[in-house]
Amino acid sequence: MASKEKGGAGMPQDKAIAEALDSEAQIYRKSGEYRAVRVEALTPVETVLASGLKETKNTALPGDYIVTGVGGERYVVKPDVFAARYEPKGGSADVFIARGHVKAIPNPFSRPLHIVAPWGEIQHGAADCMVVDIYDPATKKRDGKPYLVSRPEFDATYTVMRSASSQSKAPWYRNKGGRPRGRLL
């Protein structure tokens, strides 16, 4: 994830979010049923949440999947990620069961957040959104490519597995004056 300011990499926001995902995040398991179709041609996809917020834009390439989430939001998933995170549900060609884990934290800035998502487009999140990164429980490593999930969609699709081992009393994202660290887009 990168800020769009000054070319993106290494912004304080990025570092603060990475530190929190490593130290304060809870581990969640994705669950539920999803509809998905594999596309054969370039297909633009705009992710619009149940609240009406336009979260992001992306383009599905031939072979990618367009997944429809529990809130009706549509998003693009690459074939390798799709194979690792979804499995077919018997009896229906376009229904899949989610699997996989993430590390997630509430939006630490308590105001709307805008990041450059792993797919290169600006992603918008509300003040109560979640910052999420794919997590591998076997290696205990996260993917390093955070993205945003709206709170209602997050609550409907993720189940907490365990809390982070270290829960500090002084939140990682506040400076001495109690204000959020880092810059927003």
Residue pLDDT, tens place only, 115-163: 988 888 889 899 999 999 999 989 999 999 999 999 998 998 899 986 5
Predicted TM-score of the model (pTM): 0.73
pLDDT tens-digit readout, 37-55: 999 999 999 988 777 878 8
Asked if 149 and 133 touch (Cβ cutoff 8 Å), the reply is no
**What pLDDT score was predicted for residue 65?**
97
Phi, psi angle pair for 146, to nearest 5°: -65, 150
Q: What are the structure tokens assigned to 127, written together?
A: 């003040």
CA distance 105 to 170: 15
pLDDT of residue 168 exceeding 50, the answer is no
